[in-house]
Amino acid sequence: MVFDISKISGIGEFTVQKEKDRELYLKNGRTFLVLHRNTIEIRCDQKLSNLLKEKYESAMESRYFGRGGLEIVLAGQLSSIELADLVRLSYNLTA
């Protein structure tokens, strides 16, 4: 699955910082999304994060955000609509 943030509505302005093996998406200088080749990392509520980790094998604790985030393998377990909702949530949680 290829992740394309341009297809997600409801997100305001952001900047992209490209690094060697990942892209950081920032709102007001704070990261709300980390895009790797096969995974994305987002900010997430702890209770929702725990629920998703129990439900999906492809969801795990974020390496970038730690307990305050979720890393999702883009293997197709979560639909594109669910991923878009999670990215919007992450954007809105980022101060």
Domains of the chain, earliest start first: 14-93 (3.90.1150.30)
Q: What is the pLDDT of residues 36-74, one digit of tens each?
A: 999 999 999 999 999 999 999 999 999 999 988 999 999
45: Cβ contacts below 8 Å, ≥ 6 apart: 89, 93
SS3 per-residue string spanning the chain: CCCCHHHCCCCCCCEEEECCCCEEEEECCEEEEEECCCEEEEECCHHHHHHHHHHCCCEEEECCCEEEEEEEECCCCCCHHHHHHHHHHHHHHCC
pLDDT band at 3 (very low <50, low <70, confident <90, very high): confident
* pLDDT for the residue numbered 37: 92
